[in-house]
């Protein structure tokens, strides 16, 4: 797993969000784009993380941040997740893992003694196409504070 680091160029991705809209890195020029990767829509940790970002969305927006959630879930699953929790930001349905692999967050995980491949919960802040911050140890209940820190 070759995860992007601070100073790396972010992949110039193009993907579909939960509503089927095309989302590109270039859509966020002039903003600090928070790309947060989460393992699976509608699971407890991912719900806590998404809700924390939703609850702090106005503060993040005032500070010039745009948010984009990414997982390998289908558009339908992402749409249900977004609507249920009223997330004000798009969720990419990266089923072919183009964006996930581009940022290097797919890899070996361990859970309850079992090893498997999956998405690592990581967050990247990208400005002008360059990674300016990486959060490896995401605190799902306090994620917005980590971004603003």
In the chain, the domains with their CATH numbers are 30-148 (3.40.30.10)
pLDDT at 1: 65
Catalytic residue annotation: 46
What distance in Å separates the CA atoms of residue 29 and residue 46, rounded to the nearest whole number? 27
Do residues 124 and 101 make contact, with C-beta atoms less than 8 angstroms apart? no
* Residues 52 and 141 sit within 8 Å (Cβ to Cβ): yes
Q: Are 103 and 68 in contact (CB under 8 A)?
A: no
Q: How would you classify the pairing of strands 32-37 and 65-71?
A: parallel
pLDDT in tens, 86-120: 999 999 999 999 999 999 999 999 888 999 999 99
Q: Which residues of the chain have pLDDT under 50?
A: none
């Amino acid at each position: 797993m070759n995860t992007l680091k601070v100073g790396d160029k972010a992949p110039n991705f193009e993907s579909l969000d939960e509503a089927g809209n095309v989302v590109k890195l270039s859509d966020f020029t002039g903003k600090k784009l928070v790309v947060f990767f989460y393992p699976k829509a509608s699971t407890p940790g991912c719900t806590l993380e998404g809700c924390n970002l939703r609850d702090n969305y106005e503060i993040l927006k005032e500070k010039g941040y745009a948010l984009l959630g990414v997982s390998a879930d289908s558009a339908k699953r992402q749409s249900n997740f977004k609507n249920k929790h009223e997330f004000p930001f798009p969720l990419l349905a990266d089923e072919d893992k183009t964006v996930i692999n581009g940022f290097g967050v797919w890899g070996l995980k361990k859970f309850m003694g079992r090893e498997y491949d999956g998405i690592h919960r990581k967050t990247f802040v990208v400005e002008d196409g360059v990674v300016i911050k990486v959060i490896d140890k995401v605190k799902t209940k306090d994620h917005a504070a980590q971004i603003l820190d």
